[in-house]
Amino acid sequence: MTDPYPLLNRLKLRHLRLILELETTHNLHRAAERMNLSQPSVSKLLQEVEHALHVPLFERSSQGVFPTPFGTLAARHARLMLNDLARMQRDMDGMRTGTFGSVRLGAIVASLPELVSPVLAQISDTTSGISVSLSVDTSDALLLALEDGRIDFMVGRMLGAPRPMALSSVELAQEPLCVVAGCRSPIVDHGQLSLRDVASERWILQTAPSPMRRAVEAAFTIAMLPFPSHPVEASSMFATIDLLQHSKMLAVIPCSVSRHYENTGILRRLSVPVPEFLGAYSLIAAEDRPLTPAASFVRDALLEHVIGKADRPVQTCL
């Protein structure tokens, strides 16, 4: 009978750890220090893993040790396997100590005010056995984290590009966008405005290639307007809000986020129509990686919250 796992007899966990350390440090000496091994031992481990896989994983040069295409692929799989082992250890510890487990959730910022934050608050109030680690980022960054096994599932967008991993998704809610300014900006006192009226202002934009950045680019293209020159680019929504408070710049942010900061007197929404290019965000998980009971509980709570909101009046944006 053919062995379905031929690498099990040739690879050790230390081999996987070495691949990740070399990909990170590009240096045999630093990798040896981080693994608490001698440099000759690390060199021997590298020879063993390359012999086991029958391909060169790293190229040695005077500048350091750098992954080949085989090495990059091996590092991605090594990260997945070690993250899965770490998750197993966390779940075992949870069972041993009487807790129910941990969940690593990724979410885009637009989903926080009206979905993720209230659901996590409810779980915290009613369920003492689940620990949630929340990572807030753009959809493209969260998809990479999902593929690497750094998060269990995410609330975000699939995006259009093909992914190396099969993903499942359930649509949750739309994410309309709006143009905002700090409350001290003189433009907030203007009446009805168009994108053409504000196109020449200084802008704070999300970094490319995020979905929100592409939506803003599409809005300017459809309006046949030049894209803002020399914008301030910020991947952090907190940084965007902070910049708006200290400048006369404009930004495009999710309406759900705008509502929160309007209520606190920090921002004002401008009456600039923004076409809905962004579409809905979804609950996304890896098809071949079953969720733990704790992660399934959080996922179901998010879905139930969305279903419950469907029976209420929908809040609209300008």
pLDDT in tens, 123-146: 888 877 788 999 999 888 899 999
Judged against a pLDDT cut of 90, whether residue 215 lies above it is answered with: no
Same-domain status, 214 and 196: yes
pLDDT in the model for residue 29: 93
Residue 287 lies in a domain: yes
Q: Is residue 83 a part of any domain in this protein? A: no
What is the separation, in whole angstroms, between the first and last Cα of the chain? 67
- Assess if residue 26 is contained within a domain: yes
Question: Do 134 and 147 share a structural domain?
Answer: yes
Give yes or no: residues 106 and 46 share one domain: no
Say if 82 falls within a structural domain: no
What's the CATH code of the domain at 158? 3.40.190.10
Q: Identify the CATH number of the domain in which residue 65 sits.
A: 1.10.10.10
Do residue 125 and residue 47 come from a single domain? no
Mean pLDDT over 197-218 rounds to 87
Is there a single domain that holds both residue 248 and residue 285?
A: no
For residue 109, the enclosing domain spans 102-174+280-309
Q: How far is CA 235 from CA 138, 174, 205, in A?
A: 8, 21, 8
Q: Are residues 170 and 191 in the same domain?
A: no
> What are the pLDDT digits (tens) for 49-102?
999 999 999 999 989 999 999 999 999 999 999 998 988 887 777 666 545 778
Residue 294 lies in a domain: yes
Mean pLDDT of the chain: 86
Residue 87 lies in a domain: no
- Indicate if 196 and 244 belong to the same structural domain: yes
Task: Clarify whether residues 233 and 246 are in a common domain.
Answer: yes
Residue 25 binned pLDDT confidence (cut-offs 50, 70, 90): very high
Last residue of one domain, picked from the residues 39, 62, 77: 77
Residue 224: inside a domain, yes or no?
A: yes
Q: How many domains are there within the chain?
A: 3
Q: Which amino acid is at 281?
A: Y
pLDDT of residue 161: 57
Say whether both 188 and 261 belong to one domain.
Answer: yes
Q: How far apart are CA 136 and CA 11, in angstroms?
A: 35
Judgement on whether residues 186 and 249 belong to the same structural domain of the protein = yes
Q: How high is the pLDDT of residue 176?
A: 87
Q: Pull the structure tokens for residue 183.
A: 């409350």
DSSP single-letter state for residue 115: I
Per-residue confidence (pLDDT) for residue 304, from 0 to 100: 93
Domain membership flag for residue 315? no
Do 114 and 167 lie in one domain? The reply is yes
Task: Name every residue whose Cβ is closer than 8 Å to that of residue 191 and which is 6 or more positions away in sequence.
Answer: 271
We report the CATH number of the domain holding residue 226 as 3.40.190.290
Residues 192 and 204 in one domain: yes
Is a pLDDT exceeding 90 seen at residue 20?
A: yes
Tokens of 53: 């896989």
Interhelix angle 69-97/13-25, rounded to 10 degrees, is 120
